[in-house]
Structure 1
């Protein structure tokens, strides 16, 4: 069996849509009677809770309460659907080129998994996205109460694949300390810069685009230095 490959989601397979997220949260604020800038700031300040504890409606109610608002159930539902619509749009924004890479990897026998620090709206929309059918395993922080770089979330993904962490390759842009977290549990790490240069100080191999990944994975892994050993680009 070819080595399992575990991917990050945002800024790795798809754009993170950060500016659109802030815009949508500002629109949600208007729906529930809050100042847009205040709700956007509150969303940024509570990112960890939103990743591992609160669902969409809980987030709206809790943050509205902290900001002095008392939205009705109808307002909360409307704002929640606005957030869910964003998640659907973002997941469907995946490029044909990225889907082709995933198909190529599956065609070469690589089991594929996802580990995403994501809020519940993303996890809910995942099954209807064009990405979902290409993955054997998907682990979302909001579903398991764990977030990268916690070692437990990497172990969980590997366990669901039926392999040890040391057998896996992790591919990500580097946000949230995910590369160091993957390396710490023994995964081979490849950083991608295609969508965002999130961790320029990372000292391991880099792929400029996901299109370079299949060729890199065909190379003997003994030729890949351990993650963090040097600064360089993995080449085909």
Structure 2
């Protein structure tokens, strides 16, 4: 097992930060000049389309959402809304406590690290400046690829960009979107991060996976012991 592919939100990011999402959407709505409840409904309802790039980048997406709310913001208002939305997205994607040290340790062990995220435009646009970017060898974003998990082409793309066969990849995620079942079908070894310490954040998931992997950890600090104890990993060493 030479590579590890991570989900992003709730896996590398702090699960508790998900509780900030509605607050950040409210700030964007106010910047756009639209009712926060209508904006929340528009954003939530458009999630499947937004994460495959159907509306374009963040500016185009916010304009489309404003129009769904019955507004036509001018350029200055739209500029402020984009800046507000990006600032809110940065709050929501703050790192899980200790996760950067885990990633650094894995890189020191010569693992190839990938990312497979169902995400909208703001993560893709901000990625090069995030603390995660220098630590991830091959990021794959649904918004950029025009596909969402569990599409097998996404897993194949992630493995190919890492230069590793799928059978030599772990997939680590907190569940949702059929991601673990998709990883298993792709030939990867899935690991569920249960986020047991953050039940309120986990309850926000509207599409929990039905399939539960055999390998489970409560937090990311359990990943290194799991990898070390894996029979395949032990044999490789």
**TM-score normalised to structure 1 length:** 0.87
- How does 1:109-148 map onto structure 2 within 5 Å? 109-148=110-149
Aligned length: 222
1:95 Cα deviation after fit: 4.2
Instruction: Mark the CA change 1:76 to 1:221 in structure 2 (over 3 Å): closer, same or farther.
Output: farther
- How does 1:52-201 map onto structure 2 within 5 Å? 52-53=52-53, 54=55, 55-91=57-93, 93-95=94-96, 97-194=98-195, 197=202, 199=209
CA distance in 2, matches of 1:112, 1:133: 10
1:222 Cα deviation after fit: 4.5
Instruction: Mark the CA change 1:99 to 1:18 in structure 2 (over 3 Å): closer, same or farther.
Output: closer
* Structure 2 residue 13 is the aligned partner of structure 1 residue 18: no
Report what 2:4 is aligned to: 5
Instruction: Mark the CA change 1:152 to 1:200 in structure 2 (over 3 Å): closer, same or farther.
Output: closer
**Structure 1 range deviating more: 187-196 or 167-176:** 187-196
CA distance in 2, matches of 1:210, 1:66: 39
**Structure 1 range deviating more: 110-119 or 16-25:** 16-25
**Structure 1 range deviating more: 123-132 or 106-115:** 123-132
For the aligned residues, what is the CA RMSD?
2.1
Unaligned ranges ≥5, structure 2? 203-207
1:18 Cα deviation after fit: 3.1
**TM-score normalised to structure 2 length:** 0.86
1:78 Cα deviation after fit: 0.8
CA distance in 2, matches of 1:8, 1:187: 13
Q: Deviations 1:175-212 (Å, cap 9, x if unpaired)?
A: 21111111111100110123565548614210122111
- Check the 8 A contact 1:170/1:189 in 2, yes or no: yes
- How does 1:11-50 map onto structure 2 within 5 Å? 11-16=10-15, 17-50=17-50
**Structure 1 range deviating more: 12-21 or 67-76:** 12-21
Unaligned ranges ≥5, structure 1? 225-236
- Check the 8 A contact 1:38/1:67 in 2, yes or no: yes
1:96 Cα deviation after fit: 5.2
Q: Deviations 1:34-72 (Å, cap 9, x if unpaired)?
A: 111001011000001111113211211112112211111
1:89 Cα deviation after fit: 2.9
- Check the 8 A contact 1:173/1:199 in 2, yes or no: no
